[in-house]
Structure 1
Amino acid sequence: MPKRRDIKKILIIGSGPIVIGQACEFDYSGVQACKALRSEGYEVILVNSNPATIMTDPEIADVTYIEPLTTETIEMIIERERPEALLPTMGGQTALNLSVELAKSGVLDKYGVELIGAKLEAIKKAEERESFKRAVERIGLRTPRSVLVDSYESGMKAIEYVGFPAILRPSYTLGGTGGGIAYNMEEYKDSLIKGLKLSPINQVLIEESVIGWKEFELEVMRDSMDNVVIICSIENVDPMGIHTGDSITVAPAQTLSDKEYQRMRDASIAIIREIGVDTGGSNIQFAINPEDGSMVVIEMNPRVSRSSALASKATGFPIAKIAAKLAVGLTLDEIPNDITEKTPASFEPTIDYVVVKIPRFAFEKFPGADPTLSVQMKSVGEVMAIGRTFKESLLKALRSLETGDYGLTPMPGLSISKIKRELKIPSHRRIFIIAEALRRNMSVDEIYRATHIDPWFLHNIKEIIEMEERISSSPEINGELLREAKQYGFSDITISKLRRKDELSIRRLRCESYIKPVYRMVDTCAAEFVAFTPYLYSTYESPFYRVGSSRPCDLSEAEPSKRKKVIILGSGPNRIGQGIEFDYCCVHAVFGLKDLGYETIMVNCNPETVSTDYDTSDRLYFEPLTFEDVLNIVEREEPEGVIVQFGGQTPLKLAVPLEEYGVKILGTKPDAIDRAEDRERFRELLNKLGLKQPKSGTAKSISEAI
């Protein structure tokens, strides 16, 4: 079906400032949408209020407005620019809610602006809890028992029917804002008042609890010819009761039987058709009772989301780009796959690896904050890791977090009674509590009863703990054991701590034993077709030898070119003090180096960013930003040098150890970086220059501070 010719100008609304539940993933989706629509010949008008985004760069859209995201401002822009269409699905909940307000108030009709990507009726069906419930029931599917309320009085009547514990889900809110779990009447009253206040339409769904059930998500796309594809299945390691943005997740789903997956797939297709999203993508969430396999539908996002960004990076399928093209009338079979250059977007992605996402929290910045995780999102960022197994991906993701944990860090100070208590409380440290419980010989069954985390995941964590024991207790660490540990995902520094050696000695032993990572491509097709886009991840595989050779064959799919090249280190996970602005700097560094004729190589582990889009740099390594992982890439690529200045504190910390190992650091010298970053050295510099400064000192212990 040809693209629409009756549209020339399209308005896109951005997501505004970074808030919990709505971060730089919408900069990524907005940039993709702008580029996709312009490539099809449309004029794009963009409005956003966040100047730290790539999407507000002058070259991304044809016309860019950095203005407050209000209906009044957007009406003025519509009056001035006269777009024929508004794409509401790229700017998160903010853009979706504004688009609904513009439609309901008559602004869109007044200026003849059409909603594309998701019609008003489809948005209302998906976002208004009672409408969604009725739509799901019409197609023979179940939702948890629930009542929609719009006042305190109706809420008090509803709880008599639903009972405790109850889940409260306000309509049209972001990241579970205003939601909660109520175990008693006092908690319920507080949550009800808050939810009604925070819902833009003063509606809250009072829902029976399915806490402890397994949670899954499917990313689904549909075109105007009713073709539907499932892009990715995502499984939450944590059970229902924790916001999916705060849960460790894995793709593809690991613990579903084929029958369960096919049932969920069929349900997703039926839901997207019933809701009426006919030119774009949606995220649909399910819960499955582990006792009897019964399934309920939880909710649907009729737009690109945080999970869409994760699914895009996990599969190599650019959901926002494809959704933008579907919105202007193209069909899935008409849109080529950029990675293979042979298959269309109607081919569902197939992946031959495992992806793990772990959220990044900032509770250390707010000591008084409650670290208990619930249905309201609390994480400020996330990391993603790719490996051949869940174990490998999990350990890679843990060291990507930059919290000082290079693996499942032991917690010897915890008593067994405290461990048992902590297991029952969902928190950002529970994965470490589980590991410690296994070290103390608690059974998988006992941990499952406390956490409701599927035993499959617990057994994998147990195998990691058993490997820890083998590494630490072995009389010596030989090549065979070292290779097995690396295949599990253990870092050199973790192995060195278990062996009480230094990290470089483990690296030397590994290199002497020819144990090096191979780099595999994310190609959307499990190597069925040739991939032309170098989007890479590392893994350790069993070696293959040529006859008569003692050195293993090079199985890497990374084929370094002979061009002049530079590695740029990204900024890692978003956190307070290090956010989207550093991704902006990294992306512009890539563009600048390309203009100078250099091949650009990006290393980063944040799935929300533009820098980890497969077409931003010439080569993308989706890897942890650690000394070991970066050095492996440097040795593989042999660049002119590495740039560390644009990714914030994360790469700056790597500058000195990389230079000491012989890696050329471009730009500001590592010693100068260290002199600026080290408080004591900087104080000495100011004294030398005779500059005034507040009285200060540096302490490395409590006794020194006193």
Structure 2
Amino acid sequence: MVTSGIHNILIIGPTNSDKNVDLSTALYDTAEILHQLGYKTTIMVENPTALLSSSEFFDKVVVEKVNGENILDYVDNFHPDAILPTVGDKNALGIISGLNGKISSTNVLGTDYFASLATFKREMFISKLNENDLPVINFISSDDEKELYDFIRSIGFPIIARRRFSNRHSSGWTNINNLFELDNFMALEDSQSAKIEIERSIRGFSEYSFTVVRDRFDNSALIGTIEDVEPIGIHHLDSNLVSPAISLNDSKLQKLRNFAMKLARVFDVVGACTVHFAYNHKTNECYITEFIPRLSEETKFLEYATSYPLATVSVELNLGYQLDKLQLDSGSSFNGASEPFMDHITSRFPQWNTTDQRYIGPSKTSDSSIIVSGFSIEEVFNKGALNDKLNDTLNRYEKLHQMDDDQLFEKIIHPTNWMLDVLIEAIRRDFELSVLSEVTGINIPYLVALKNIKENSAIIRDDEIDENNIENVVGMGVKGIGYSKVLLDRDDVVTRTVVKSKKSVSVNMDKLQQQNYFLTSGISNDLEFTDRNKIIVRSPIITSKKNIMVRQFVLMQLVKSINQNGLEAVILGREPWNSPLEIRNVAVEIADPHMELQHLNLIQEKTIFKIIDFSQTLSDEDTENNRVFQISTQPIKSVDLKADTTMRIIVVSDGTSFSIPSVIFRKMVGERSYEISAFNNFLTDTDKSEITNIVKNELEDSHQINTYNFEFAYSHDHWMVTKITSGMNQDIIRHELASSVHVIDTLVKLILGNNFQADMTVDQIFKNDDEDFLVTTNDQKFNSYDAKGIQKIISDKFK
């Protein structure tokens, strides 16, 4: 039975959208399913551009600093029936743990005060696990030197230690291997008020994470497992992640599964919970290192890997639904108690913006990541971390080949982001796998996979592919990588890359429609399309988190518009995109790490109406094809001109006429900056006419359908252009959310053959009926105002 008495729900949003882009579609799914179930929702968020939708499913959006004080103020003024913190970031759990006893009349969904507090208080976490016979690393926090040394004698070396200061900050963990290193650490006098925290070192252990879901009736299910290829000691997000965890045999898997479910029961977690383990395969020592009772980067990764709708399931469990009686969009039922069966491997590989080697350790250094799927470790390695098109591995091979054994061994014991390439070179020189496993902490199955890749790479490099080995080579996903171009020229059916469905959901979930596919090797094709004409949306590699946010937003808006206009959307890219529920059944998503689908003729050419491309550069074939529309940012003009008053506008053009649906106005007042979105109706007629004439002159020679981003500076009583780009830049989210005119839908309609009215008036060009306006102060603080509020800012601040 669903929890009664809950009608209005306050959702605590993420505090920093740039760092929490993995939560954006989860947040969208959460709001959507709550809306469909009839709940009224409010979200408190610092930056509303993190929502992917300004108010489509939210009854109220509160743009405030996300902290306990503002949450309490909202509860006192509006009295929500419940608070949902589990789609926010770690900060949301911190807020909940600090509100114990202050909002007794308001339900907290998903995780209670104690579970939230235990994610921050190490002593409480360890005490609770010890009480319930769950394996945990003993820990001490003290300023008593005798107590610290007694504890160290009881656990032995190696240990890790850090100082915890009174302001709750810490010095970071230090590895200590002997008494001499300990004495040196204790002799440091960073602060008189600091406590020293010590626990046993688990550096070199294997790291696993298990995500379980649990309802309030204590029914649980394991949704997925993730294994870090690199051992503990290397940051989780700098490691190559693999799902499912292949180095666990069934007995170890069941052991950790039971621990994860027991932990969720101990802390009474309702919804999703991810439990991290450290495991030593030599001694069979196992420890729980942390738990995350909310949606996170792991749940987002597993949602794609398993096709299990974790965000939707989590929020319904929070509301009191039973695990085997859930409801998806359109009212379809869903048995969430059936654990997903994965017939493939999904991996997430970290990406660095530089091609140089980067030493990796406890601190995160990677810039982004890419996800690939396949049927073997060799295939996902070749598609991801060892993909020459992504990571320049041929250049790495040449540099490593020139090193002597001592230089190479130094790279093995001091790991860099080239670790897999280093290990392949070591295997080529006949380093023993057992020795490499001992030194690196990487489990043998991955080293065996690297050995297989090395042997097949030699076959390809020496052009020794024949009928006896071609199927094995292609089965490892080497097509399109480096020297393996030779495979593309063969007619053998085995060499044809095809699209396979990610059939990772068990058979009693057949009502859950999935349209996620990935390219792999084989002789069959699971891909099915409707009879409707198609718009292909090609997406490139993502190199920064801001780009990911833009990409998620634009893809979602494109798919919605394409579907609403009666066509079928096909999302094609090197990194898969897990669409929100609203469009999960109207968009076909295909992960294509080598961009080969366009060469395989798997989509009938006559059904492709248009192609929208996110890539930075187009091929010669694309450039000559008038069906291809490039919407990535392309520079056109740049002038170095500084001013206190500036403006950014987006222009949508049909090749002849144009509209300016959104204006972002910015003004420096002393040392403080104010940025106001949807400023159209606050511009003077003189400003509008001047800007219109400038845009008309700048686009005079451009006769293509596209969006353009103009930046202006106000100097000597005139507006002057400082920058022009075409395509979608980072402002697109703010433009789209701030404008009553849907920019992306307008672009799609123009691509489909519609046109603007000729000879539009200036007011028609700038038409925007928005009634809420987003103001950003000093690029950090966001607030929402009505028209009167904006007029007051203009009169008070902009004199």
Q: Distance in 2 between matches of 1:256 and 1:451?
A: 18
Which ranges in structure 2 are unaligned for 5 or more consecutive residues? Answer: 639-697, 702-719, 724-799
Distance 2:182 2:112 in 1: 39
Which residue of 2 is the match for residue 83 of structure 1? 80
Alignment deviations for residues 226-267 of structure 1 (CA, whole Å, 9 cap, x no partner)? 101000111111112222222111111111111111111111
CA distance in 2, matches of 1:461, 1:316: 28
- Tell me which residue corresponds to 2:757: none
Contact 2:29 2:580 (C-alpha < 8 Å) held by counterparts: no
User: Where does 1:346-357 land on structure 2 (aligned, <5 Å)?
Assistant: 346-357=337-348
1:24-103 equivalences under 5 Å are 24-101=21-98, 103=99
Q: Which has the higher contact order (CA 8 A, sep 6+)?
A: 1
How many percent of aligned residue pairs carry the same amino acid?
Answer: 20
Looking at structure 1, the residues matched to 48 and 279 of structure 2 have their Cα atoms a distance apart, in angstroms, of 42
CA distance in 2, matches of 1:357, 1:12: 29
- C-alpha spacing 1:510/1:230, structure 2 compared with 1 (3 Å): same
Report the CA distance shift for 1:168/1:346 in structure 2 as closer, same or farther (over 3 A): farther
* Structure 1 residue aligned with 2:3: 4
Match of 2:256 in 1: 264
The alignment status of 1:619 with 2:587, answered yes or no, reads: yes
- Could you tell me which amino acid in structure 2 is paired with residue 485 of structure 1? V
- Matched residue of 1:453: which SS? coil
The correspondence of residues 662-677 of structure 1 with structure 2, limited to 5 A, is 665-668=627-630
User: Do residues 443 (structure 1) and 432 (structure 2) align?
Assistant: yes
Q: CA deviation at 1:4?
A: 2.5
CA contact (8 A) 1:122 1:275 kept: yes
Give 2:410's match in structure 1, choosing from 417, 421, 443. 421
What SS does the corresponding residue of 1:556 show, helix, strand or coil?
coil
Task: State the partner residue of 1:431.
Answer: 420
User: Of the candidates 310, 320, 335, which is equivalent to residue 319 of structure 1?
Assistant: 310
Give the whole-Å Cα distance in 2 for the aligned partners of 1:617 and 1:387: 23
Other structure's SS at 2:247 match:
coil
Q: TM-score, normalised by structure 2?
A: 0.71
Q: Contact 2:12–2:45 at 8 Å: present in 1 too? A: yes
- The 8 Å contact of residues 383 and 400 in structure 1, kept in 2 or not, is answered as no
CA contact under 8 A between 1:400 and 1:605: conserved in structure 2? no
2:648 counterpart of 1:656: no
Q: Would the aligned equivalents of 2:515 and 2:585 in 1 still touch at CA under 8 Å?
A: no
Give the deviation of 1:561 after TM superposition: 2.1
* CA distance in structure 2 between the partners assigned to 1:191 and 1:427 by the alignment: 29
State the aligned residue count: 634
Instruction: Give the equivalent residue in structure 1 for 2:544.
Output: 575
SS in 1 for 2:20: coil
Alpha-carbon separation, structure 2, partners of 1:326 and 1:693: 52
Q: Which has the higher strand share?
A: 2
Partner of 2:221: 229
Q: Does the 8 Å CA contact 2:23/2:87 hold for their aligned counterparts? A: yes
| 2:452 alignment partner, SS class | helix
SS of the residue corresponding to residue 31 of structure 1 reads helix
Q: Does 1:536 align with 2:517?
A: yes
2:499 is matched with which residue?
Answer: 519
Counterpart contact for 2:93–2:117, Cα < 8 Å: no
Q: Residue in 2 aligned with 1:603?
A: 572
Structure-1 residue corresponding to 2:694: none
> In structure 1, what is the Cα distance between the partners aligned to 2:616 and 2:118?
48
Structure 2 CA distance, aligned partners of 1:263 and 1:399?
A: 33
Task: Report the alpha carbon displacement of residue 665 of structure 1 after superposing the two structures with TM.
Answer: 4.6
The TM-score normalised by the length of structure 1 is 0.80
Alpha-carbon distance in structure 2 between the residues aligned to 1:614 and 1:571:
23
- Distance, in Å, in 2 between the alignment partners of 1:126 and 1:342 is 33
CA distance, structure 2, for counterparts of residue 665 and residue 151 of structure 1: 73
C-alpha change, 1:262 and 1:204, in structure 2 (3 Å) is farther
CA–CA distance in 1 between the matches of 2:139 and 2:601? Answer: 52
Spell out the pairing of 1:93-492 with structure 2 (5 A cutoff): 93-101=90-98, 103-104=99-100, 107-109=102-104, 112-149=105-142, 164-167=157-160, 179-183=172-176, 184-185=181-182, 188=185, 205-277=197-269, 279-336=270-327, 344-362=335-353, 371-398=358-385, 403-405=390-392, 409-410=396-397, 411-475=400-464, 477-478=465-466, 481-492=469-480
Query: Where does residue 560 of structure 1 map in the other structure?
Result: 529
Give 1 or 2 for the bigger CA radius of gyration. 2
44-53 vs 387-396, greater mean Cα deviation: 44-53
- Per the alignment, do residues 379 and 191 of structure 1 end up closer, same or farther by CA in structure 2, a change over 3 Å counting? farther
Tell whether 2:596 aligns with 1:628: yes
Per mean C-alpha deviation after superposition, the further-off stretch among 511-520 and 436-445 is 511-520
Matched, 1:644 2:632: no
Amino acid across the alignment from 2:434: D
Please tell me whether the aligned partners of residues 332 and 345 of structure 1 are also in contact (alpha carbons under 8 angstroms). Answer: yes
After superposition, the C-alpha distances for 1:615-650 in whole angstroms (9 at most, x for unaligned) are 4472333424543255448746852232114xxxxx
SS of match in other structure, 1:86: strand
8 Å CA contact 1:48–1:69 kept in 2: the answer is yes
Matched position secondary structure for 2:272: strand
For 1:281, the aligned partner's letter is: A
| 2:38 match: secondary structure | coil
Q: Decide whether aligned partners of structure 1 residues 669 and 135 sit closer, same or farther in structure 2, where only a CA change above 3 A counts.
A: closer
Greater alpha carbon shift after TM alignment, 419-428 vs 392-401: 392-401
Residues 222 and 460 of structure 1: is their aligned pair in 2 closer, same or farther, counting only changes over 3 Å? Answer: same
CA distance, structure 1, for counterparts of residue 394 and residue 338 of structure 2: 36
Alignment CA distance shift 1:88-1:204 (3 Å): farther
Q: 1:480 to 1:41 in 2, by over 3 A?
A: farther
Query: What's the Cα RMSD here?
Result: 3.8
**Distance in 1 between the 2:368 and 2:97 partners?**
28
Q: 1:487 to 1:39 in 2, by over 3 A?
A: same
- Letter aligned with residue 271 of structure 1: L
**CA deviation map 1:530-575 (0-9, x unaligned):** 563221112212x4xxxxxxxxxxx211112221111212354452
**3-state DSSP of counterpart to 2:115:** helix
Q: Which amino acid aligns with 2:103?
A: L
